[in-house]
């Protein structure tokens, strides 16, 4: 079923490329059937016990491309499988304004398959292969329309991803050479403990920046705001579901399942990477306050919130990892809703400046309401989900007993204040300030509304009943040590 889950979207993409249906209805049915069937297969895998490996390709005794679903993989795969059909449904309505739907949704489905491949990877070699394939699958989406700005953004995206892959490959080679294996092992690969510490720590830092490119780690973040020129279903995909979360997921795998937290804790490598994460939190929040373009502002917000997750991961404690995973899931829900709201505003009103949101609730009452609730959640207003994950990160930082953890808790507080400025202020202005123009209703159609309603329902449910997910994430974190 792991293999079937990745094949269904590829088959759907092949049908779109070969048949090129002119009927929007037929195209929509094909995309949604493939997406929902894939999600059903993934759900079957998530709730079925057992973690037996499936070898896809054996290059040597040490190099195999294989699948195996463990606890951490279940977290990432579950998030992807839940959000992808919603993003696809949103895209069916949005892309009528863009054109090139067959080409677009073909690569959209391929990206779904490749992202699941990352979640299912049994070893670092497999993860690296699908990590590279994700860059290739999403590049045509960033460049969709082939306008000059899209091509420029795609070129930047490719440069950063390929450069990061080179650094990640060095870490992969070092793990195989010194550790004699690349299979993910809770607590890390035992052979690395006997390797020269200086070399191992240097390779970890290179791997952190290499795989962290997709997580927009500072200073390798420039591609993320530039990719905002792509259609909104792509930016929602990049910023909330696939690419950036794949970067965080890869760093987590590298830290806990390859090198091992015990080997890294208290070293200069941990201090350096933690410092980068804290700088990223403040830099991303500060740039979001300055940015006036809607999607670019949310892009810098994504950079900041990804560093939240990395902060939790780099604490290298069970409590920190559980908090980081919690924020990874919650941020995916909040951010995809915010991007979808902004995209709806841009295509139905033609507005792209954040200052033009004033009085928007008269034009788009539904969209403004969703933006307000999810914006408040991103800020961390209790009892919404953002408060729970940020509180967990701050308490994990203080409980770690290190000065970096305490500093991280202070940075989170500063960032929360900045988040209130760049998200909550425009959200409130949609209600509190007079409308600039005529009050003509232009809320989106049923497809966008349905996608937003499902995400909003998930935000509300997790705000008031977070315990089941919290217990599962705590078990995953405890098993990674």
The reported pLDDT for the residue numbered 252 is 93
The stretch 281-293 carries a mean pLDDT of 91
Assess contact for 453 and 337: CB atoms under 8 A: no
The reported pLDDT for the residue numbered 41 is 93
pLDDT tens profile 348-366: 887 888 888 888 888 888 8
Query: Considering only CA atoms, which of 338, 314, 332 is closest in space to residue 324?
Result: 314
The stretch 243-272 carries a mean pLDDT of 91
Confidence category of residue 439, pLDDT binned at 50, 70, 90? low
Listed in sequence order, the residues at least 6 apart from 421 whose beta carbon sits closer than 8 Å to its beta carbon are 289
Reported as type and span, the H/E element at residue 91 is helix 71-94
Q: Is the pLDDT of residue 392 over 90?
A: yes
So where are the chain's domains?
266-481
Assess contact for 285 and 301: CB atoms under 8 A: yes
Q: Is the pLDDT of residue 118 over 70?
A: yes
The reported pLDDT for the residue numbered 148 is 83
Q: Is 405 exposed, middle or buried (0-12, 13-18, 19+ CB in 10 A)?
A: buried
DSSP state of 190: G
The stretch 456-465 carries a mean pLDDT of 93
Q: Is the pLDDT of residue 237 over 80?
A: no
- DSSP letters, 375-416, are HHHHHT-TTSHHHHHHHHHHHHHHHT-SHHHHHHHHHHHHHH
Confidence category of residue 276, pLDDT binned at 50, 70, 90? very high
- CA distances in angstroms from 352 to 183, 208, 356, listed in the order given: 46, 34, 7
Assess contact for 104 and 146: CB atoms under 8 A: no
DSSP state of 54: E
The reported pLDDT for the residue numbered 43 is 93
- CA distances in angstroms from 45 to 38, 71, 190, 367, 458, listed in the order given: 11, 12, 29, 34, 21
Assign 271 to helix, strand or coil: helix
d(CA 226, CA 160): 12
The reported pLDDT for the residue numbered 415 is 92
Assess contact for 19 and 50: CB atoms under 8 A: no
Q: Is the pLDDT of residue 345 over 90?
A: no
d(CA 399, CA 405): 8
Tokens of 446: 């049923």
The stretch 170-178 carries a mean pLDDT of 91
Report residue 128 CA to chain centroid gap: 17
Q: Is the pLDDT of residue 179 over 90?
A: no
The stretch 230-239 carries a mean pLDDT of 77
The stretch 78-101 carries a mean pLDDT of 86
Confidence category of residue 440, pLDDT binned at 50, 70, 90? low
Reported as type and span, the H/E element at residue 417 is helix 403-419
Q: Is the pLDDT of residue 238 over 90?
A: no
Q: Is the pLDDT of residue 47 over 70?
A: yes
Q: Structure pTM?
A: 0.92
The reported pLDDT for the residue numbered 33 is 92
Average pLDDT, the chain: 88
d(CA 331, CA 386): 8
d(CA 33, CA 418): 41
The reported pLDDT for the residue numbered 190 is 86
Q: Is the pLDDT of residue 442 over 80?
A: no
Higher pLDDT, 49 or 280: 280
Q: Is the pLDDT of residue 303 over 80?
A: yes
Q: Is the pLDDT of residue 418 over 70?
A: yes
The reported pLDDT for the residue numbered 400 is 86
Assess contact for 118 and 76: CB atoms under 8 A: yes
Confidence category of residue 226, pLDDT binned at 50, 70, 90? confident
Q: What percent of the chain has pLDDT over 70?
A: 98
The reported pLDDT for the residue numbered 438 is 63
């Amino acid at each position: 079923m792991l293999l079937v889950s990745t094949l269904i979207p590829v088959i759907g993409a092949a049908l779109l490329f070969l048949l090129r249906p002119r009927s929007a209805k037929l195209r929509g049915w094909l995309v949604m059937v493939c997406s929902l069937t894939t999600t059903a297969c993934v759900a079957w895998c998530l709730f079925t016990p057992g973690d037996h490996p499936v070898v896809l390709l054996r290059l040597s005794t040490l190099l195999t491309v294989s699948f195996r679903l463990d606890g951490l993989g279940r977290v990432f795969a579950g998030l992807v499988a839940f959000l992808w059909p919603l993003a696809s449904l949103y895209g069916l309505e949005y892309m009528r304004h863009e054109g090139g739907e067959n080409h677009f949704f073909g690569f959209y489905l391929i990206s779904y398959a490749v992202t699941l491949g990352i979640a299912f990877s049994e070893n670092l070699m497999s993860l690296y292969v699908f990590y590279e394939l994700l860059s290739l699958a999403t590049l045509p989406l960033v460049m969709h329309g082939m306008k000059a700005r899209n091509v420029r953004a795609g070129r930047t995206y490719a440069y950063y991803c390929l450069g990061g892959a080179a650094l990640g490959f060095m870490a992969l080679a070092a793990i195989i050479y010194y550790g004699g294996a690349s299979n993910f092992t809770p607590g890390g690969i035992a052979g690395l403990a006997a390797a020269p510490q200086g070399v191992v720590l240097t390779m970890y830092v290179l791997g952190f920046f290499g795989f962290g490119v997709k997580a927009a780690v500072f200073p390798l973040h420039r591609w993320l705001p530039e990719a905002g020129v792509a259609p909104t279903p792509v930016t929602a995909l990049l910023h909330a579901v696939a690419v950036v979360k794949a970067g965080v997921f890869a760093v987590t795998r590298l830290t806990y399942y390859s090198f091992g937290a015990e080997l890294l804790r208290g070293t200069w490598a941990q201090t350096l990477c933690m410092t980068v994460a804290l700088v990223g939190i403040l830099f991303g929040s500060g740039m979001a306050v300055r940015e006036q373009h809607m999607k670019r502002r949310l892009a810098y917000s994504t950079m900041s919130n990804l560093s939240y997750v990395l902060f939790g991961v780099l604490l290298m404690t069970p409590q920190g990892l559980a908090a980081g995973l919690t924020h990874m899931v919650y941020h995916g829900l909040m951010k995809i809703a915010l991007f979808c709201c902004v995209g709806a505003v841009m295509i139905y009103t033609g507005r792209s400046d954040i200052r033009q949101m004033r009085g928007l609730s008269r034009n788009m009452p539904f969209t403004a309401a969703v933006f307000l609730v999810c914006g408040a959640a991103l800020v961390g207003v209790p009892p919404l989900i953002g408060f729970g994950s940020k509180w967990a990160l701050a308490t994990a930082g203080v409980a770690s007993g290190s000065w970096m953890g305490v500093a991280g808790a202070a940075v989170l507080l500063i960032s929360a204040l900045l988040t209130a400025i760049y998200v909550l202020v425009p959200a409130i202005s949609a209600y509190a300030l007079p409308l600039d123009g005529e009050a003509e209703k232009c809320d989106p159609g049923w497809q966008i509304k349905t996608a937003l309603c499902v995400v909003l329902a998930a935000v509300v449910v997790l705000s008031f009943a977070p315990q089941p997910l919290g217990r599962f994430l705590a078990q995953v974190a405890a098993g990674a040590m």
